[in-house]
Chain A
Amino acid sequence: MSQLSPILPLHRVNTLTGVRTSRVVEDPKDIVKQIKKAQRPLLVIGPLTTKVTLGDKLLIEYAIDIAKAGNIPICATGTTKAKLLEFGVKPDSVYDVVEIVNALKDPNWKGVRGEGNHDLILFLGIRTDLANQGLSTLKHFAPHLSTITLCKYYHPHADYSLPNIRKDDQWKSILEGIIENLKTENR
Chain B
Amino acid sequence: MELKEINKRLEEIYEKIKAEIKWEPIGPTPMPEIADLRNWDMRLLKTYKPFYAPFCDMCCLCTYGKCDLTENRRGACGIDIATQQARIVLLACLIGCSAHASHAGHILEVLIERYGPDKKIDLGNGVEVEAPHIRTVLGLKPETLGDLKIAIEYVYKELTHLLDSVHTGQEGSYLDYESKALHASMLDHVGMEVADIAQIVGFNYPTSVADTPLVDLGWNAFDITKPIILFVGHNPATSTVVVDYLRENGLYDKVEFGGICCTALETSRYSDKAKVVGPLSRQLFFIRSGIADVIMTDEQCIRTDMPQEATKAGSALIATLDKVMYGLEDATGMDTEEIVKKMVEEKKHFAILDPRKAAEVAVKVALEIAPKRRKEWITEEEAIEFAKKCGLCGICEQVCPNLFEIGKGINEVAKGNFEVIRDIFNLCIGCGKCEEECPRNIPIFKIMQQAASKEVWKIRAGRGPIMDTEIRNVGAPITLGTIPGVVALVGCSNYPDYRDLAEIVDEFAKRKYIVVLSGCAAMVAGMWKDADGKTVYEKYPGSFDAGGVVNVGSCVANSHITGAAIKIANIFAALPLRANYEVMADYVLNRVGAVGVAWGAYSQKAASIATGCNRLGIPVIVGPHGSKYRRLYLSRKEEDDWRVMDARKKQIVDTGEPSPEHLLYVCETKEKLMVTIPKLCIRKNDTPQGRAIKLNHYISLYKKYMGGGLPEDLHLYVRRDADIPLVYKKEVKAYLDSIGWKPKEPVGLPTWIGTYPTKVPVDAVIH
Contacts and interface: CB of A to CB of B under 8 A. Distances in A.
A171 B708 CA distance: 32
A130 B68 contact: no
Contacts of A14: 64-68, 75-76
Contacts of A15: 58, 65-68
Given A79-B706, A103-B636, A136-B54, A98 B666 contact: yes
A134 interface: yes
Contacts of B82: 140-141
Contacts of B408: none
A33 interface: no
Interface stretch (B144-152, B348-356, B434-442, B626-634): B626-634
Interface in B55-74: 55, 57-58, 64-73
B634 A98 contact: yes
Given A103-B636, A129-B628, A78 B51 contact: no
Given A96-B667, A137-B54, A79 B705 contact: yes
B668 A96 contact: yes
Contact of B668 (A78, A136, A141): A78
A163 to B, nearest CB: 16
Given A96-B672, A140-B54, A130 B706 contact: no
Interface in B63-109: 64-73, 75-76, 81-82
B764 to A, nearest CB: 33
Contact of B666 (A17, A20, A130): A130
A20 B58 CA distance: 11
A113 interface: no
Nearest to A108: B639
B712 A19 contact: no
B507 interface: no
Contact of B68 (A17, A101, A102): A17
Given A15-B58, A47-B668, A140-B54, A79 B627 contact: no
Contacts, number: 114
Nearest to B403: A128
A105 B328 CA distance: 51
Contacts of B636: 99, 102-103, 106
Given A77-B668, A129-B627, A139-B70, A85 B52 contact: no
A127 B672 CA distance: 14
Nearest to B713: A94
Contact of B52 (A78, A79, A106, A141): A141
B392 to A, nearest CB: 15
Nearest to A156: B57
A20 B71 contact: yes
Interface in A8-44: 13-20
A105 B53 CA distance: 11
A136 B625 contact: no
B53 A133 contact: yes
B624 interface: yes
How many A residues touch the partner, as a band?
35 or more
A106 B49 CA distance: 12
A129 B53 contact: no
B634 A19 contact: no
How many B residues touch the partner, as a band?
35 or more
B707 interface: yes
A45 to B, nearest CB: 12
A164 B57 CA distance: 22
A129 B57 contact: no
Nearest to B674: A79
A143 interface: yes
A99 B634 contact: yes
Contacts of A143: 71-72
A186 B262 CA distance: 61
A42 B75 CA distance: 33
B705 to A, nearest CB: 7
Given A15-B58, A79-B706, A140-B70, A102 B634 contact: yes
B487 to A, nearest CB: 19
B249 interface: no
Given A46-B668, A77-B668, A82-B707, A136 B53 contact: yes
B665 interface: yes
Contacts of B75: 14
B51 A102 contact: yes
Contacts of A16: 68
B145 to A, nearest CB: 44
A106 B708 CA distance: 31
Contacts of A101: 51
B738 interface: no
A173 B53 CA distance: 32
B74 to A, nearest CB: 10
Nearest to A46: B668
B625 to A, nearest CB: 6
Contacts of A46: 668
Given A15-B67, A20-B70, A140-B70, A127 B628 contact: no
Nearest to A129: B625
A15 B73 CA distance: 10
Contacts of B69: 140
Contact of B671 (A78, A102, A134): A78
A98 B51 contact: yes
Interface string B706-736: 1111001000000000000000000000000
Contacts of A78: 668-669, 671-672
Contact of B70 (A17, A85, A102): A17
A137 B67 contact: no
A155 interface: no
B58 A79 contact: no
Interface string B321-337: 00000000000000000
A130 to B, nearest CB: 5
Interface in A141-187: 141, 143
A65 B217 CA distance: 50
Choose among A79, A81, A82, A103 the residue with the greatest number of B CB atoms under 10 Å from its CB.
Answer: A79
Contact of B55 (A17, A102, A106, A133): A133
B706 A81 contact: yes
10 contacts: A14-B76, A78-B668, A81-B709, A82-B706, A85-B709, A96-B672, A102-B51, A127-B624, A129-B624, A143-B72
Interface of A: 13-20, 46-47, 77-79, 81-83, 85-86, 94, 96-99, 101-103, 105-106, 126-127, 129-130, 133-134, 136-137, 139-141, 143
Given A18-B68, A96-B668, A129-B625, 10 more contacts: A17-B71, A78-B672, A83-B707, A99-B634, A130-B624, A130-B625, A130-B668, A140-B57, A141-B82, A143-B71
Closest 5 CB pairs of A and B: A82-B707, A133-B53, A133-B627, A19-B57, A14-B67
